[in-house]
Chain A
Amino acid sequence: MKASDLFGHRPMFRSKKRKEGVLFTVPVILSMIVLGALIFCCVFAPFISPYTESGQDRTAIMQGPSMRHLLGTDRVGRDTLTRVFYGGRTTLISALGVVLISIIIGVPFGLISGYYGGWADTIIGRICDILLSFPSLLLAFIFVAGFGRSQLNAIIALGIVYVPMLTRLVRSLTLVEKNKTYVEALQSCGVSDFSIMFRHILRNSVSTITVQLTLDLGYAVLDLAALSFLGLGVQPPTADWGAMLEEGFTLILMQPMLSLAPGLAIVLTVIAVNIFSDGLHQYLEPIQRKMPSFKSVEARLERERSAQNECNA
């Protein structure tokens, strides 16, 4: 396989049915495998690993990678790989929490703002303006400062930080959908506004929102790690990729693996999420799809013509 095939979002299996627009292209499948493996390891960490999250082995501290400890141990003899798995649990669930919070607040606000317009739109727009006048991490800092430093508060803070962007996206989508004939038809049938917004408009804009949410998931992993790295998120001894990076960083000269392992986990996850989101975007928004080349179109027309000739003959 050529490298160019790997990243061009070409379909893995070519069949007549899905000539154009296939979700499962090679990069997307690769990213799904990586994500799947990561999630599997995190979920089944207690069954995969012979060690526990905080089980200390004082006879083996600060060890390098070996057969017994695949990625070495930290300064109290905890197995690094095991902690990366457990850290993944914390980090991934937190990232999901961030996205969930932003959906719960952002989507209804965006729908209302776009659908009703008027003063509701003005108020929601102003609130978004205010939240967007902070650089995003700064807003998270100030929320954490208010709520106190902990994992839950970091999730809530970041969740709120992600709301305005999502609200604006949903609002702009709603503005487009609102003027379509089906909405007019529903209104004339006397369908309630609530039902029009959440059952019809939302469903018709769900593809774009999904792409944005997968992107947000990647950013959430990064931002959560940043908060934990600064000591504003997850507090040790809980395993978390950002917090582990911070812990390992102080010992980097003695045992680089302690901070590199969680770092690599973050990078892998975010790359996989981004590729998946990119593939989804190309699949769901046909404008992004690669145009078939002139040659292939010509060849297809030729094939069809000859097939027709055979039928006629």
Chain B
Amino acid sequence: MSKYIFKRILSLIPIVIIVSVLIFAMVRITPSDPVAVMMKGKKITPETRASIEAQFDLDKSYPEQYICWIRNIFKGDFGTSFHYKQPVLSLVSSRLPNTLQLVMMASLLALLIALPLGIVCAVNMNRMADRVLSLLTLIFVSAPTFLVGILLMLGFAVKLGWFPVYGAGHNFVENLHALFLPAVALALNMVALIARITRSNMIEQLNAPYAQTAIAKGVPLRKVVMGHCFKNALIPVITVTSIQFGGMIVGAVLVENVFALGGVGALLIDAIKQADYPVTQSITLMMVVVFLTINLIVDVLYAAIDPRIRLDA
């Protein structure tokens, strides 16, 4: 088992290296000039420009800048933002709790709603309940997250006043209330996807010979569904959920934008618009590493559950 984990981690190293090069290159070829953005378009003397470039290592060649960036990351220094003149790490860490809580709440909500929904649909396949729920999930999967957010905000925050219209709370408990609407907006999209996957896998499992045998033998349907089929249908559901979880870290950007939550995503978008190299490249790299780590954990979990996977690799 430990050999399998070691192998998987080893295979990720070249990917992370190439990804970091790609991110670095993409950030450098941007057409806007960071020094001009920093000076807000004011005219500057060549001397000032040179001193600013020296301050942020922009005068070095690209390979030097890249090596500098990577070397500093290992020292725990992700660079200093051009715009905020603060270390990237402190910028991110002050915004991370909100984003993380939002994503956690949304995933939890999504699973709580989607799994029962998918099972109900599968058991009642092609009956009225299935049709109505399938239609609902179709609408949710087709509605952009930010539109759902806007509608929820209009309805529950502005008209009914149950939730704050925008902004996050100051601590975890306050945030449970303040982040509820954003979390629902973020979750609904995922609900649709997870429910669909659960439904189709449950249908497949219910039609599998072992389930048919159990039903024919007179095992109560509830026991067949929850005791046998659900467990077997869960593996693909976990895959999709984990991939979605990674995607949600980015999807949170949209909701953060609507509800003015000022999370990591909003920071990234502002950085892209302002050609803030250190912030853009570091946050992107962090997100990719988090995404890959989640995938790695899921893979390891699979291997722990299913010996075929770890022996095959």
**Which chain A residues have a beta carbon within 8 Å of chain B's beta carbons?**
3-4, 7-8, 129-130, 133-138, 141-149, 218, 222, 225-226, 229-232, 242, 245, 249, 252-253, 256, 259, 263, 266-267, 270-271, 274-275, 290
In the assembly, what is the distance between CA of A133 and CA of B147, in Å?
27
Chain B residues lying within 8 Å of A148, measured Cβ to Cβ, are 30-32
What 18 new A-B contacts, CB under 8 Å, besides A136-B250, A256-B154, A270-B143? A3-B128, A3-B131, A8-B131, A130-B19, A133-B291, A138-B284, A141-B272, A143-B26, A145-B27, A147-B31, A148-B32, A149-B273, A230-B254, A230-B269, A232-B272, A245-B150, A263-B151, A275-B138
Tell me the dominant secondary structure on chain A's binding face. Answer: helix
Chain A residues lying within 8 Å of B287, measured Cβ to Cβ, are 134-135, 138
Cβ < 8 Å to A, chain B residues 134-157: 134-135, 138-139, 141-147, 150-151, 154
Q: What are 20 pairs between A and B in contact, CB < 8 Å? A: A3-B128, A7-B135, A133-B291, A135-B246, A136-B250, A141-B250, A142-B23, A146-B25, A146-B26, A147-B29, A148-B32, A230-B257, A231-B269, A249-B258, A259-B150, A263-B147, A266-B143, A267-B139, A274-B138, A290-B126
* A7-B22 CB under 8 A given contacts A138-B284, A141-B268: no
Cβ < 8 Å to A, chain B residues 92-149: 126-128, 131, 134-135, 138-139, 141-147
B267 within 8 A of A: no
Q: Is the CB of B126 within 8 A of A135?
A: no
**Per-residue contact bits, chain B 219-253, to A (CB 8 Å; 1 contact, 0 not):** 00000000000000000000000000011011101
In the assembly, what is the distance between CA of A48 and CA of B90, in Å?
54
Chain A residues lying within 8 Å of B68, measured Cβ to Cβ, are none
Q: Is the CB of A130 within 8 A of B291?
A: no
In the assembly, what is the distance between CA of A256 and CA of B158, in Å?
12
Q: Is the CB of A130 within 8 A of B22?
A: yes
**Per-residue contact bits, chain B 139-182, to A (CB 8 Å; 1 contact, 0 not):** 10111111100110010001000000000000000000000000
B18 within 8 A of A: yes
B15 within 8 A of A: yes
Q: Is the CB of B150 within 8 A of A263?
A: yes
Chain A nearest CB from B163 CB (Å) reads 16
Q: Is the CB of B247 within 8 A of A135?
A: yes
In the assembly, what is the distance between CA of A253 and CA of B157, in Å?
12
B5 within 8 A of A: no
In the assembly, what is the distance between CA of A94 and CA of B142, in Å?
18
Q: Is the CB of A270 within 8 A of B142?
A: yes
B201 within 8 A of A: no
B280 within 8 A of A: yes
Chain A residues lying within 8 Å of B26, measured Cβ to Cβ, are 142-143, 145-146
B292 within 8 A of A: yes
Chain A residues lying within 8 Å of B147, measured Cβ to Cβ, are 245, 259, 263, 266-267
Q: Nearest chain-A residue to B268 (Cβ)?
A: A141
In the assembly, what is the distance between CA of A267 and CA of B147, in Å?
9
